[in-house]
């Protein structure tokens, strides 16, 4: 699988590489030692004398069709996801130590984006059309969008009409149980 993916890479599609691979992967280089051991009339010898390149056999094993046009580059999104996760590490303590609307808004956006990417990955990985049919994956992705929009809206409501995210977390932590009060 990895080899066939490698062969579909742009570097492997130029003419010189294809000619070299065809030359290296034909089975004619195996004919000399086998031909001296087997009689010329055997079925195996006839099969080996055909010059079918191995590269064609590998390409016939692909499981996904080649996309028409330019494929999507998901490496940039991966870098953005990891950047958001790295930004959350210092931003969460800063938002709790210095609660203000700027840190609260940044926290709301980054937490929602981070949660969205995680929930979307879960929905795409586990609610596959080949397993559950074509409609349920669309419903699952719709629910992910709905949950994340509601989360962002709720966090912005807390920021604008209530005490803010940082102060809300401080208030939750300051609640003492009945046992601690007495």
The CATH number of the domain where 87 resides is what? 1.20.1300.10
Residue 17 pLDDT:
63
Judge whether 78 and 117 are in contact, CB under 8 Å.
Answer: no
- Is 66 a member of any domain? no
- Domain shared by 96 and 44, yes or no: no
- Domain shared by 145 and 94, yes or no: yes
Sole residue written with tokens 């996904």: 64
> Considering its fold, how many domains does the chain have in total?
2
Judge whether 70 and 99 are in contact, CB under 8 Å.
Answer: no
Reported pTM: 0.59
Residue 34 pLDDT:
47
Is 126 assigned a ligand-binding role in the annotation? yes
- Domain shared by 91 and 162, yes or no: yes
- Is 64 a member of any domain? no
- Domain shared by 22 and 93, yes or no: no
Q: Is 147 exposed, middle or buried (0-12, 13-18, 19+ CB in 10 A)?
A: middle
Question: Containing domain of residue 37, as a range?
Answer: 2-59
Instruction: Answer positive or negative: Cα dihedral of 7, 10, 13, 16.
Output: negative
Euclidean distance between CA atoms 97 and 100, whole angstroms: 10
Is 145 assigned a ligand-binding role in the annotation? no
Segments of the chain with pLDDT less than 50: 1-2, 27, 29-31, 34-38, 44-45, 48, 61-62
- Is 65 a member of any domain? no
pLDDT, one tens digit per residue, over 43-85 is: 544 554 555 555 555 555 445 555 556 666 778 999 999 999 9
Q: Indicate the SS3 state at residue 14.
A: coil
What number of residues does the chain have?
A: 182
Instruction: Answer positive or negative: Cα dihedral of 106, 108, 110, 111.
Output: positive
- Domain shared by 129 and 172, yes or no: yes
Judge whether 165 and 91 are in contact, CB under 8 Å.
Answer: no
- Is 69 a member of any domain? no
């Amino acid at each position: 699988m990895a080899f066939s993916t490698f062969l579909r890479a742009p570097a492997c599609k130029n003419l010189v590489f294809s000619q070299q691979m065809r030359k290296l992967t034909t089975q004619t280089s195996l004919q000399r030692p086998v031909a001296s051991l087997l009689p010329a009339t055997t079925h195996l010898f006839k099969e080996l004398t055909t010059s079918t390149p191995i590269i064609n056999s590998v390409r016939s094993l692909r499981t996904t069709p080649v996309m028409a046009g330019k494929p999507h580059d998901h490496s940039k999104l991966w870098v953005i996801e990891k950047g958001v996760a790295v930004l959350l590490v210092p931003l969460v303590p800063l938002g709790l130590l210095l609660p203000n609307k700027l840190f609260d808004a940044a926290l709301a956006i980054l937490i929602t984006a981070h949660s969205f990417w995680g929930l979307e990955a879960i929905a795409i990985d586990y609610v596959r059309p080949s397993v559950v049919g074509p409609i349920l994956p669309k419903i699952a992705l719709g629910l992910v969008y709905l949950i994340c929009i509601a989360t962002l809206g709720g966090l912005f409501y807390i920021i604008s009409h209530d005490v803010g995210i940082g102060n809300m977390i401080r208030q939750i932590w300051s609640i003492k149980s009945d046992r601690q009060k007495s």
